Structure 1
C-alpha cells in the first residue's frame, strides 16, 4: 500500500514514520527547504524519544521518503493525509485554515486515480466537506472521497500513542452512503495492523470526528484547570491536593489522569484547541462556557505563578539570582509553545531578577521567546549555584534525582518554589530549605 503525507511537522512526521513501520510505503511532502534537507539527511528537527531511530530504520528500508513535489508523492497513493499546521488565527483564536485549503488545491491537481483525502490536522467541523468542495472545483473529474482522522499524540510519548492507541477515530461522509464502503475499506487497510491488536476503530460522521479532537483536548484542559483551582483551595484550607486528586481519581467515572497541579497547561494542542472550540461554539450559536472559562483560568494561573515566586522571595526579586529548572511546557519534549515558563520568566525579568535556567533539551528552542538577559546553564546544580531562590517549572525526571542537600550547598539563599511538586517537602525542609509547593500544606 502507498500513501502520501502532506506536511513533515510533528504530526506528519510521527504519523508517517509509524505508518511506514506498519509496512506501508509513505511519501512525505515538506515545503520548508531547511526542514526537508534535515529529514533527507536523517536529522530530526523535533525532539521526540525514539523517532530518530524509527525514521532511520524505515528510510533505509525504502518505505519512508521525503520530497517537495506533491505530484510525485500523490501519484498512485490510496490515501493522502493532510497534516499541515492550523495555528490560531490572529485576533479571534479560530484555527487558521489557509494551509489546509492550499494543500487541498495542490492535492486536487496531483490526483491520478481514486484516493481518500484524509484530514490529520486538527480542524473545525465542516473542514472535510470544504476540502471536498475545493477538490471538486479544481478537478471535477477527480475520483476521491474525504475522511477525518484526528491525531491523539502526546508529545514525549507519540510513538507509543500511535502504535498502541486508546482509539482511532475515522469520520466518513455519511451523506453519500454509496461512497462510504469504498472509503472505509481504504482506511481499514491503512490501520489493519492496529485492528490485529484489537485497537478500537470508531467510524463516525465527518463532523463528529472533527469535533471529537477539540472536545477531548478541551475536556483534559478543564481537568487540569480544575485541579489547579482545587490546589489553590487546598492551600487556603490546609488540605493536600495530591490526596484529594487520588481520592477523586479512584472514582472510575473521573479517572486519575490529568489531575496533577502545576503552573498551567501549555503546548501545541490545549491552548490552541480550547481557543478554537470556544470560537466554534460562538460561531455556531452554542457557546462553550466551560471551555471559555478554562482558557481564562489557565491564563490567570500562569500570571499568578510569577507573583507567587516574587512573594516567596520577600516581595521583591530586584537584583536577586533566580535558578530555574525546566523551560519546556512538559518533560520529554523541546516544545516551548505556550509554555508557562514564558510569561513567568518575562515577569521575573521585568521585576529585576537575574535568571539562570537549565532544561535538558529545550534551551535552544526557548532562547527566542525568553528575555535576552536569561543565562543558560549546564545542569541543575550549575543553575542553583549562588542562587537566592530556585524555581521548578518542568518535571523532568533528572530533577527528581537532585539531592536537597546538594541544592542547599550550591545556593546562596534557601527559597525553593516547586511548581511541579517533584520534591518531598519533609526532605527539603530537613535540608534547611524554605520549600513551597502547589496545593500541599
Structure 2
C-alpha cells in the first residue's frame, strides 16, 4: 500500500519506517527543511536503538522517502497518517491540537481520490470528529474517511513494540476503513496479533486510559516506597510480592524519582482536562499528576539529606539525565527538576549521560559536563544516579570510592544491591530500601 506519514517526530518516523519494513511504500512529510534534509542524507534526528539501520535499509529498497511536499505525498497515498505533536497547552493542561488541525486542512486541500485519514498522534476524545469536520468544510467534494490508530511505543524499544505489539487499536467505523487498516497491519494480522476495532472515540480514549493507568501504577509504588523507608522494609520485595498476582502484574512497579518523558506527563494532564470538560472529574489521575510533580522535587531533598542536610559549596555528581535509558529524550525528565533544585541549594553539579547530553545542554545551565561517569565523580561529595543506563550498573566501585571526596551514593533507580554497597564501603541511599552505613557511621 501507499502511505503518507505527516510528521517525522518520534512517532511519525518510527511508524513510517516500520510500515515500510512491512513492505508498504511510505513517504514521510515534514515542514522542517533541516529535518528533511538530514533524513535525506541518512542522518537520524532522534536516538532509538536500531532505527538508523532500519531507515537505511528501507530507503535503499525504495520503500521509504522523505519530503516537504505534502501535496505530492497525499495524492499518491491510500492512507494518510497524522503524526504531529500534541503538546500540553500552557495554563490548562489540555492537548494543543493546532498542529493536528492544520495537518487536516492541508490533507484536505491535497486529496485527489478516496483517502483514509488516520490520527496516529495521541489526541483527546472527539478529535477525529473535528478532523472530519475540517476536511469536509475544506473540501465538501472529498472522498475520505477518518480513523484513529493510537501508538503504544516505548522509547528505547519502539521498533520491537511496533513489530511485536501486545495489540493494535483501530477506531474505524466502515468495512472499507477496517480493510485498509487490516492490509496495513497484514504481517501482524497473519501472526494473530490482537487487532481491536472500535468506534473512533473509543480508540482515542483507550490510549489515554492506558497511559494514565501505567502512570498511576508508577505513582502507587513510589508512595509505597516512601512508606517502606519509614518502616524499614524493602520495596523491591513488596513489588515482587504483589506483582506475582496475575491481576496486578510486575511491570511498572519499580520505585524511582517519578515518571517523565513525552507521553505520561502530557497525557495524564490532557485526560484530567478532558474529565473536567465533560464534568466527569478523574480524581485519581489528578492526584497522580500532583504527586509526581512533587516527587521530583523531593528527590533533590533526598540528595541534600545524604550530604548532611546542606549542599552549599559542595559538588554533586549526577549520572543519567534522560527520563529513561535507551533514549535521548529529556522531556519532563526528573533531572530537569532535581538539578536546578540542587543548584539553588548551592551545589555545583557535574553530569554525564550516554545519549542525552546534547539535549540536556539546551535545557540546563551552569552544569559541568563530563565525558563519563568517572569524570563526573571526580572530587564530588556525593554521586546520584538518576537514570538506569546499563553502563552505570557495573561501575568499578573501588575506583568510584577513590574519585569521590567521600563514598556516598544516592541511587534513585535501585540498580545496586545494598549488600554490595556495604561491602564496598559506601554510604548508600536508595528508594524504598533501608540505607546502608559503613561501620561507625550513623544514619
Q: TM-score, normalised by structure 1?
A: 0.98
Contact 1:125–1:207 (8 Å) recurs in 2: yes
* 1:185 alignment counterpart: 179
Pair 1:272-2:266 in alignment? yes
Q: Distance between the aligned counterparts of 1:396 and 1:118, measured in 2?
A: 35
Unaligned runs of 5+ in 1: 174-179
* 2:53 alignment counterpart: 53
Q: Distance between the aligned counterparts of 1:407 and 1:426, measured in 2?
A: 17
Q: Deviations over 1:237-278 (max 9, x none)?
A: 111100000001000000000000000000000000000000
Structure 1 residues 63-212: aligned runs within 5 Å: 63-173=63-173, 180-212=174-206
* 1:329 alignment counterpart: 323
Pair 1:31-2:25 in alignment? no
* 1:281 alignment counterpart: 275
SS in 1 for 2:35: helix
SS in 2 for 1:195: helix
The count of residues paired between Structure 1 and Structure 2 equals 434
* 1:362 alignment counterpart: 356
Pair 1:400-2:399 in alignment? no
SS in 2 for 1:34: helix
Contact 1:404–1:427 (8 Å) recurs in 2: no
* 2:337 alignment counterpart: 343
Measured after TM superposition, the shift of residue 76 of structure 1 is 2.8
Out of 141-150 and 406-415, give the one that drifted further.
406-415
Measured after TM superposition, the shift of residue 424 of structure 1 is 1.4
Structure 1 residues 12-27: aligned runs within 5 Å: 12-27=12-27
Q: Distance between the aligned counterparts of 1:376 and 1:346, measured in 2?
A: 15
Pair 1:410-2:400 in alignment? no
Of 243, 247, 254, the residue aligned with 2:248 is 254
Measured after TM superposition, the shift of residue 386 of structure 1 is 1.2
Q: Distance between the aligned counterparts of 1:398 and 1:220, measured in 2?
A: 26
* 1:434 alignment counterpart: 427
Contact 1:10–1:46 (8 Å) recurs in 2: yes
SS in 2 for 1:356: strand
Pair 1:375-2:406 in alignment? no
SS in 2 for 1:315: coil
* 1:216 alignment counterpart: 210
Q: Deviations over 1:3-22 (max 9, x none)?
A: 10000100000000000000
Measured after TM superposition, the shift of residue 161 of structure 1 is 0.1
SS in 2 for 1:264: coil
Q: Deviations over 1:286-316 (max 9, x none)?
A: 0011000000010010011111111110111
Measured after TM superposition, the shift of residue 403 of structure 1 is 2.4
* 1:176 alignment counterpart: none
SS in 2 for 1:276: helix
Pair 1:302-2:296 in alignment? yes
SS in 1 for 2:171: strand
Q: Distance between the aligned counterparts of 1:413 and 1:238, measured in 2?
A: 25
SS in 2 for 1:226: helix
Q: Distance between the aligned counterparts of 1:400 and 1:407, measured in 2?
A: 13
SS in 2 for 1:268: coil
SS in 1 for 2:37: helix
Q: Deviations over 1:61-83 (max 9, x none)?
A: 11001001111001131100000
Contact 1:123–1:210 (8 Å) recurs in 2: yes
Q: TM-score, normalised by structure 2?
A: 0.97
Q: Distance between the aligned counterparts of 1:337 and 1:362, measured in 2?
A: 11
Measured after TM superposition, the shift of residue 133 of structure 1 is 0.5
RMSD value, Cα: 0.7
SS in 2 for 1:80: strand
* 1:314 alignment counterpart: 308
Pair 1:421-2:404 in alignment? no
Q: Deviations over 1:345-365 (max 9, x none)?
A: 000011111111010010111
Q: Distance between the aligned counterparts of 2:54 and 2:82, measured in 1?
A: 21
Measured after TM superposition, the shift of residue 226 of structure 1 is 0.3
